[in-house]
């Protein structure tokens, strides 16, 4: 359910309702803890899985025995790119920098002497 209302200054205020199914025992978790659990899940989905699918098309690959290896390599790539990216720079822009200047990256990682 979505609805919109207007503030006194005329700006629009909107609200959305989301429904979730969980196997968590409602007697053992508070609403605040449940909300945090849901937000933590979607942070991983939006920050890691989206990037891996967007830049490496991970969801399009059908890999049998090598699937875990591919996943491990993309996790490593994303982690390294996050460590190397500058402030305000996207993972994609950092990956392009790496593509065009691999020696610089190898030096930063300690594989080549400066």
8-state DSSP, 14: E
Average pLDDT value over all residues in the chain: 81
What is the percentage of the chain residues whose pLDDT exceeds 70? Answer: 89
Largest distance between two CA atoms of the chain: 63
**Per-residue confidence (pLDDT) for residue 3, from 0 to 100:** 64
Does residue 39 register a pLDDT over 80? yes
Q: Where is 104: in which H helix or E strand?
A: helix 102-108
Of all residues in the chain, what percent are helix, strand and coil, respectively (each to 5)?
55, 10, 35
Q: Is the pTM of this model over 0.85?
A: no
Q: Which residue has the tokens 């002497």?
A: 113
């Amino acid at each position: 359910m979505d609805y919109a209302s207007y503030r006194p200054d005329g700006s629009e205020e909107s609200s959305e309702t989301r429904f979730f199914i969980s196997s968590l025992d409602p007697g053992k978790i508070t609403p605040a803890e449940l909300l945090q659990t849901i937000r933590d899940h979607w942070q991983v989905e939006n920050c890691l899985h989206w990037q891996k699918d967007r830049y490496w098309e991970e969801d399009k690959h059908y890999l049998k025995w090598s699937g875990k290896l591919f996943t491990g390599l993309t996790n490593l790539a994303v982690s390294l790119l996050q460590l190397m990216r500058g402030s305000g720079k996207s993972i994609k822009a950092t990956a392009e920098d790496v593509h065009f200047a691999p020696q610089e990256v190898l030096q930063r990682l300690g594989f080549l002497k400066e």
